[in-house]
Amino acid sequence: MQASFTRSYAGGVVPIQATSTGRPAVCQPFATLAGPYPHVRLTSALSRSTSHQLTGTTLLSRRHETICFAVPASVPESVNDVAVSLKPLPRAVENVADDPSLHNPLQRLHRLGTGWFGVIMEYEGVLVEDTSDLHSKAWEMLGEEEAKPRPLHWALKRAEGMKSEQAIQEVFCWSRNPMEVRRLTARKEEIYRQLLGDRTPLVPSGVRQLMEVLGKHQVPVAVACSAPEARVQPVLETTGLWPALEAVVTAEDVYRGRPDPEAYLLAAQKLQRPPVRCVVIGNSNQSVEAARECGMACVVVAGRNPLYELTAADLVVRQLEEISLVNLKQLFQLEDRVDPRAGTDLESEEEPEPAPYAKTLTLDRPW
């Protein structure tokens, strides 16, 4: 026997079809909601659709019978436009300094000190002077030599921080052949070395002082860049910065360059620090994007860039001389550095969630 039900809401009445043979009665979403707000979607108003089991229900022989009870709601898989509040996936924030489950006071004191976070620096623009002009000129000369389309200004800006193979395939769209891409990459490096000559990139002011302070307080430092190792290692050895570094991540260690956070995650792994306890010191918005994606704090050295373009970073400075150890420690005092879902109250007990709403089913049977 089939029965016709109506479901009452604040905006109107919705019909429900059901049977008394034990099959579930499912409220199907309609295009509009009857009532004073016909433009409101039913699925937006209810945010879900409900299903009820009618097995064993006795239908009384009178015209109107009201059954009131509250049950949790279930969403059918066929409903695609249900308004669902999107929440980020739970991410376990490990090794936080204010972990209440950590009962060792000495270990907590160590985590609250300066030796529990790591610093990841970019190569060009931070440790050494920025030579993006030479890179842009090398790309233009390579395009003319290979009879390729001349790279535009926006493409050259986008290629900064990327691996050469990635820029050739995805930005300039010169070739997809792996052998051709490797040949163009090697030729570009030759042109860049010719433009650079015998000159060694200069070390900006404040780099050595910052490295000494971090080393004094036992803060490990790593370098993450998209440049090849054959170009990075000789410069770091010549400038004397190589002994002060715990790890160096180059183009050979990662598959993609910035803004992909792969290099930062590998550097944090080599430093033996969780991402939430690492600070990235970069020089562009690509560094900020990569650091944000893996949950790291970010400090940007503006240099010649306008300050208003770098407001997404946690801290923006003109030179490394403006960075102090106190500023780096204050970055971990922000609330967004610790996932609120990671803090647990050991004595609290989980309580069942209340029903989302009270449901009223009205039986409307013809005589």
Tens of pLDDT, residue by residue over 186-239, are 999 999 999 988 888 889 988 999 999 999 988 999 999 999 999 999 999 999
Residues 6+ apart with CB under 8 A from 265: 275, 294
How confident is residue 100, by pLDDT bands cut at 50, 70 and 90?
Answer: low
For the question of whether the overall pTM of this predicted structure is more than 0.75, the answer is: no
Domains of the chain by range and CATH?
Answer: 2-87+355-364 (no CATH), 105-128+204-318 (3.40.50.1000), 132-196 (1.10.150)
Residue 161 pLDDT level (bands cut at 50, 70, 90): confident
Dihedrals φ, ψ of 13, to 5°?
-120, 135
Check whether 355 has a pLDDT greater than 50: yes
Residues 6+ apart with CB under 8 A from 24: 18, 51, 52, 53, 54
pLDDT number for residue 278: 92
Per residue in 39-60, pLDDT tens?
Answer: 334 334 443 333 344 444 444 4
Phi, psi at 302, each rounded to 5° = -65, -45
Q: For residues 338 and 276, is the Cβ–Cβ distance under 8 A?
A: yes
3-class SS string, 250-298: CHHHCCCCCCCCHHHHHHHHHHCCCHHHEEEEECCHHHHHHHHHCCCEE
The residues with which 66 forms a beta bridge, in sequence order, are 362
- β 247-249/221-224 pair status: parallel
